[in-house]
Amino acid sequence: MAVGYPGGDDVFMIGFDDTSYANPAIKFTLGYQQTGTNELDVSDYGLATDKFGSKVAMDDYGRLLAVSAPDDDGSGNAKSNVGAVYLFSETTLDGLSYTDFDSDDIVVNATELQELLNNNVNVTLQANTDITVNSALTVTGSGTLNLHAGRDVDINKTIDTAGDLQIIASDTADYVVDAQRDSGAADILAAYESDGSTAISLTAADLDIQLRDGSGITNVSMGDVELATVTATTGSLQSANFSASGTVVADKTYDGTTSATITTNGSISGLTLVGSDLSLARTAEFLTAAVGADKDVSVEYQLNGFTSSEMAILDDSGNVDETVQADIVSSSQNNDTGVPEEEKEDKIVIKEKVTKGVFDDLSKIVSFISVDGALNAQLAQQNSFTPFATTDAVSLQNL
């Protein structure tokens, strides 16, 4: 809102916290000898006691401001008190970086923002502390909206855009002005309106949500990502504060595979899913298939409902996962050798016992139940193994 007054030399730009005009505050001043922070000295334009601000008018989007100066002396002061109208154009939405108005609170007109996105204009808004969305956005154009904050991104109304949407909180000192990042945990909150009970949704062609680690920031502290309903063709969800725990995997009998069965679902700290539209999925796998106790099992987490297919959840090093332990026990065991039957698939450990004789070369055994003395001697001569005493039958035990 722009406010002037007859006979004055100033125009005050007043901002509000929301569309209900809560908490009005002067955000900017245009006027004679206004030289402070967030002020524009109009005397730089030849204005001096010309009743600047006697009348003001602003367009619907708050981007164009007309201010009358009825006692203006014209260009170069060529005339006396002929009057003039000055036009001021607001260019904030052409791009707000972390260093623009780095210590100020800025209110962005939601209608104007929506129009720019509908006209396929990409808009990036950056704030050293928080970005708060208090007005619903419905965008049919393909403009990309980037919301980047040094601390929080709080979305209190539904965003439905045909373009891409990127949300970054807890941004790093590579971008954020460290001295202007207020203390407090960084969150991305996009589940409820400000009443804490009305659920909201995020819809975008590509939805990229990142809670970064705030590297290099003095007041760095990471909090939660809170989501309710998401509809995206493609997307990603990443937080440096995600940590998985609590999964329990069942012991199993050896079956030659690394498959594992989850009996108790774990959770991810730092992630809150509200309602039933989004849900966690988990997959578990033993690192090896061999028999053993307390074997490592890798459990990876996925998210359902964010995109049309299951999507990986990321931390700052890759997929969110945890490592738990479970046993793989033998299905059976040879009582003589003490070797599980399944291990014979990989190696043969045989202790052969033959009544009154031992074979030196087991590969020469084909198949027999008994041999007589003559055949025994013949085998010994031909195959060069240590002969055993002649008997009516030879018993092969413990093969």
pLDDT digits (tens, 9 = 90+) for 294-320: 999 999 999 999 999 999 999 999 999
User: Count of domains in the chain?
Assistant: 4
Q: What integer pLDDT is reported at residue 71 of this predicted model?
A: 83
CB 41 within 8 A of CB 131: no
Residue 235 has pLDDT above 90, yes or no: yes
Cα 341 off chain centre by: 47
Query: Do 109 and 215 reside in the same domain of the chain?
Result: yes
Query: Do 229 and 215 reside in the same domain of the chain?
Result: yes
Residue with token string 């009582």? 335
Query: Do 86 and 97 reside in the same domain of the chain?
Result: no
Query: Do 145 and 231 reside in the same domain of the chain?
Result: yes
Residue 189 has pLDDT above 70, yes or no: yes
Query: Do 111 and 233 reside in the same domain of the chain?
Result: yes
Of 180, 206, 241, which residue is a domain's last?
241
Query: Do 103 and 237 reside in the same domain of the chain?
Result: yes
Query: Do 211 and 253 reside in the same domain of the chain?
Result: no
pTM score, whole prediction: 0.68
Query: Do 116 and 197 reside in the same domain of the chain?
Result: yes
87-91, 172-176, 366-370, 375-379: the lowest-pLDDT one:
366-370
| Domain-located, residue 335 | no
| Domain-located, residue 30 | yes
| Domain-located, residue 343 | no
| Domain-located, residue 68 | yes
183-187, 293-297, 313-317, 354-358: the lowest-pLDDT one:
354-358
CB-neighbour burial class of residue 5 (10 A; exposed 0-12, middle 13-18, buried 19+): middle
Hey, which residues does 11 pair with through a beta bridge? 30
Query: Do 159 and 121 reside in the same domain of the chain?
Result: yes
Residue 162 has pLDDT above 60, yes or no: yes
**144 CB contacts (<8 Å, ≥6 apart)?**
117, 122, 123, 163, 164, 165, 166
CB 163 within 8 A of CB 205: yes
Can you give the residue range of the structural domain that contains 297? 244-329
Give 62-106 pLDDT, tens digit per residue. Answer: 668 898 888 887 766 667 788 888 888 765 555 568 887 778 777
What 386-395 contacts at long range (C-beta under 8 Å, 24+ apart), as own/partner pairs, is 386/357, 386/358, 386/359, 386/360, 387/357, 388/354, 388/355, 388/356, 388/357, 388/358, 389/356, 389/357, 391/355, 391/356, 393/369, 394/354, 394/355, 394/357, 394/368, 394/370, 395/354, 395/355
Per-residue pLDDT band for 227 (boundaries 50, 70, 90) equals very high
Of 187, 212, 241, which residue is a domain's last?
241
Query: Do 66 and 134 reside in the same domain of the chain?
Result: no
The Cα–Cα gap between 368 and 353 comes to 15
Query: Do 223 and 307 reside in the same domain of the chain?
Result: no
Query: Do 104 and 233 reside in the same domain of the chain?
Result: yes
Of 207, 241, 275, which residue is a domain's last?
241
